[in-house]
Amino acid sequence: MRSSSPELSQDLTASELYKCIQAARDQQQKANNARKELHTLKRQLADVTNTHDSAPQHGRKTKKMVDSGSEEDTKEIKKLGHKFVMMKMIWLPDLSGTIHTKLDDQYNHLERFENHASKVQGELVDLLDLLPQKFHGEIMQSKWLIKTFHKAMQNQRSNTHTRLRNQCRPEIFDCMAINLFSIESHRDKFRQMIGYVERDNRSARYDRFNVPSLHKNYNGSFDIETARWAVSADTTLTVQGVQTGINWHADLEKCIQYLQNGLDRHKASVLKLFREWDELFFPNSETSLACNNDDKDHEDQTMKDVMNMLDADEEEAPAEPQTDE
Partner DNA sequence: CGGTAGTGCAATGTCTCGGG
Partner DNA sequence: CCCGAGACATTGCACTACCG
The smaller minimum CB distance to DNA, of residues 144 and 218, is found at 144
Can you give the length of the chain in residues? 325
Task: Answer whether 98's CB lies under 8 Å from 127's CB.
Answer: yes
Task: Answer whether 146's CB lies under 8 Å from 96's CB.
Answer: yes
**Smallest separation, CB 74 to DNA (Å):** 8
Task: Answer whether 213's CB lies under 8 Å from 220's CB.
Answer: no
Footprint on residues 85-114 left by DNA (CB under 7 A):
91
Footprint on residues 116-135 left by DNA (CB under 7 A):
none
Selected binder of DNA within 197, 204, 239, 273 (CB under 7 A): 239
43 binds DNA (CB under 7 A): no
The closest of 218, 219, 197 to 208, measured between CA atoms, is: 197
The smaller minimum CB distance to DNA, of residues 87 and 197, is found at 87
Task: Answer whether 153's CB lies under 8 Å from 85's CB.
Answer: yes
Phi–psi pair at 239, nearest 5 degrees: -55, -45
Selected binder of DNA within 68, 154, 269, 301 (CB under 7 A): 154
Region of 230-238, 262-270, 277-285, 303-311 interacting with DNA (CB under 7 A): 230-238
The smaller minimum CB distance to DNA, of residues 214 and 233, is found at 233
Angle of helix 71-87 relative to helix 116-130, nearest 10 degrees? 130
CB within 8 A of 110, min separation 6: which ones?
A: 260, 264
39 binds DNA (CB under 7 A): yes
Region of 76-84, 207-215, 262-270, 290-298 interacting with DNA (CB under 7 A): 76-84
205 binds DNA (CB under 7 A): no
Region of 10-18, 73-81, 103-111, 172-180 interacting with DNA (CB under 7 A): 73-81
Task: Answer whether 243's CB lies under 8 Å from 233's CB.
Answer: yes
Name the residue type at position 242. Answer: V
Kindly report the number of other CB atoms within 10 A of residue 39's CB atom.
Answer: 10
Region of 45-53, 77-85, 130-138, 289-297 interacting with DNA (CB under 7 A): 77-85
Give the integer Cα–Cα distance in Å for 151 and 143. Answer: 12
Selected binder of DNA within 49, 68, 115, 158 (CB under 7 A): 158
322 binds DNA (CB under 7 A): no
- Where along the sequence are the contacts to DNA (CB under 7 A)? 25, 28-29, 32, 35, 39, 75, 78-79, 82, 91, 150, 152, 154-159, 161-163, 165-166, 236-239
